[in-house]
């Protein structure tokens, strides 16, 4: 628009102007309503996709922490094994202190079994967190797929509105339906 009252606008602007003034009829109104609903649902799907991706990262982090703790326990187990082996050697080399070293060997064996149980428990916890992370990433991918298909539906709505092609409306509605189905799969963890 210029300062002299002369107004030039493109076909898209013209269509939008007519749509807002009600010149588009039921056809335009239904596409506009579809677009608004699908955009709202897409925003919700996008939020869920981000939330599941964040959860997957947190769960993977928890898995790494538990794996590190398990590794520390296995190192501690190895240290006790080394001490046990040294006590067994000392038992053979110093017969006068055999009873002392025999008690040490028994103590190290007992400590090792507790350490082993703790390490195995931590490994199981790590595996559990890994599985939860994988599940969240799968769900994230579903949300992302649903959001993408809904975005395609919105783009098809714009093209259908501008081109007035009925077959593009069908594509738009089909894409919206597919996006909703994929979002449902995400919601039900499928």
Question: What pLDDT digit, counting tens, does each position of 171-189 carry?
Answer: 999 999 999 999 999 999 8
Q: Which two tokens stand for residue 83?
A: 């001490």
Q: How far apart are CA 172 and CA 176, in angstroms?
A: 6
Q: Which two tokens stand for residue 35?
A: 């677009």
Answer whether residue 92 is part of any domain: yes
Answer whether residue 13 is part of any domain: no
Answer whether residue 14 is part of any domain: no
What total number of domains does the chain contain?
A: 1
Judge whether residue 14 has pLDDT over 70: no
Answer whether residue 119 is part of any domain: yes
More confident residue, 68 or 26: 68
Q: How far apart are CA 151 and CA 179, in angstroms?
A: 9
State the average pLDDT over residues 130-159: 96
More confident residue, 41 or 23: 41
Angle, CA 111 vertex, CA 108 and CA 75 arms, to 5°? 90
Answer whether residue 21 is part of any domain: no
Contact criterion met (CB below 8 Å) for 84 and 116: no
Contact criterion met (CB below 8 Å) for 22 and 151: no
Judge whether residue 6 has pLDDT over 70: no
Answer whether residue 9 is part of any domain: no
Judge whether residue 93 has pLDDT over 70: yes
What pLDDT, on a 0 to 100 scale, did the predictor assign at position 18? Answer: 58
Answer whether residue 15 is part of any domain: no
Q: Which two tokens stand for residue 110?
A: 């007992």
Query: Domain of 136?
Result: 26-187
Q: How far apart are CA 14 and CA 108, in angstroms?
A: 85
Q: Could you tell me how many helices (H) and strands (E) the chain has, helices first?
A: 4, 0
Answer whether residue 10 is part of any domain: no
The C-alpha torsion from 2 through 4 and 5 to 8, rounded to 10°, is -30
């Amino acid at each position: 628009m210029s300062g002299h009252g002369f107004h030039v606008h493109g076909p898209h602007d013209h269509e939008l102007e007519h749509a807002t003034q009600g010149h588009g009829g039921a056809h335009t109104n239904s596409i506009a309503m579809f677009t608004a609903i699908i955009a709202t649902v897409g925003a919700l799907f996008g939020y869920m996709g981000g939330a599941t991706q964040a959860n997957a990262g947190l769960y993977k982090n928890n898995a790494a922490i538990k794996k590190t703790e398990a590794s520390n326990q296995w190192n501690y187990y190895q240290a006790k094994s080394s001490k046990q082996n040294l006590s067994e050697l000392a038992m053979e080399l110093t017969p006068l202190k055999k009873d002392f070293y025999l008690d040490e060997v028994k103590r190290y064996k007992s400590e090792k079994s507790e350490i082993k149980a703790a390490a195995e428990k931590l490994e199981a916890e790590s595996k559990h967190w890994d599985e939860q992370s994988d599940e969240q990433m799968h769900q994230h991918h579903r949300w992302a797929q649903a959001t993408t298909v809904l975005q395609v539906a919105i783009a098809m709505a714009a093209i259908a509105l501008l081109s007035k092609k009925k077959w593009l409306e069908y594509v738009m509605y089909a894409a919206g339906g597919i996006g909703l189905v994929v979002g449902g799969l995400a919601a039900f963890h499928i």
